[in-house]
Amino acid sequence: MQRQRNAEPGVVADGPICHGLCGAQPAPSRPAAKRYVGAKEMMIKGALLSLIILLATSSGVQAEVQVSRYRHPTLPYEVELATEDRKDELMATVAVIDLRENKEIYRDISTIPPLFSRSVHRSEHFLYDINFDGNKEFFVENNNPMHYESYAVYVFEPDGRIIKVVLEYSKVFLDLKNKHIVCTLSGGMSDCPLEIVQEFRGGRLETISSKEIPCEWGRQEK
């Protein structure tokens, strides 16, 4: 005997549920009220839950958005830096626009701890040319430890790629002859400074060497 297929929505059935050509068969022993869930009631509950989540996540948080645009000094690019202050974190978006086609060619979104971040929208972002192709990279301060600075660096490659790396230093020196980036990291009162020699190679920063610089007050025993 062929069973009649139940096509009504919201059916809750006991036992195995078939899919495709086999319909769900409700158990006759269960009351009908327990086997049917009102679609309208489910929609109302879902809407209320969404509203509660929205209020919980947005309560007391007033985001402050700031947008700045910077024209690259040598390339036909404009960099747009947008920050959204969410009180517990600073969301930074970096977008690169090719002015020849008026087209966005790159976008990156990251978060910055506001406790350690300085003024992100500084007057000068094109600081150093770390891949030594004659064009400066775009620097965004993403952290501010006590004794050195940390930057997200957006490197403009000659083939048109834009690569993001992190560069940390108290002082930086560009070795033009060897195409090396020499960074000095201050160690604070208890440690001697550290000198790190890096090279931008194959789309990444690689460490060539690192050494401690003798402290002015002499090496301290640990």
Question: For the domain with range 64-212, which CATH number is right: 1.10.10, 1.20.120, 2.60.40, 2.40.128?
Answer: 2.40.128
Q: How far apart are CA 208 and CA 36, in angstroms?
A: 69
Contacts of 85 (CB under 8 A, 6+ apart): 63, 64, 65, 66, 114
Determine the residue type at 85: D
Contacts of 194 (CB under 8 A, 6+ apart): 184, 185, 187, 210, 211, 212, 213
Q: How far apart are CA 88 and CA 113, in angstroms?
A: 7
Mapping DSSP onto H, E and C, the string for 10-76 reads CECCCCCCCCCCCCCCCCCCCCHHHHECCHHHHHHHHHHHHHHHHHHHHCCCCCEEEEEEEECCCCC
Judged by DSSP in three states, 208 sits in strand
Task: Please state, rounded to an integer, the average pLDDT across all residues of the chain.
Answer: 75
Task: Name the percent of the chain lying above pLDDT 90.
Answer: 40
Task: Name the percent of the chain lying above pLDDT 70.
Answer: 62
Write down the pTM of the prediction: 0.66
What local confidence, expressed as pLDDT, does residue 124 receive?
A: 87
| 86-104 tens-digit pLDDT | 777 888 999 999 999 999 9
In this prediction, residues 69-90 reach a mean pLDDT of 91
What ranges do the domains of the chain cover?
64-212
Q: How far apart are CA 196 and CA 182, in angstroms?
A: 6
DSSP string, 136-156: PPEEEEEE--SSSEEEEEEEE
| 110-138 tens-digit pLDDT | 987 765 555 677 778 999 999 999 999 99
Judged by DSSP in three states, 200 sits in strand
DSSP state of 129: -
What local confidence, expressed as pLDDT, does residue 40 receive?
A: 52
In this prediction, residues 204-217 reach a mean pLDDT of 84
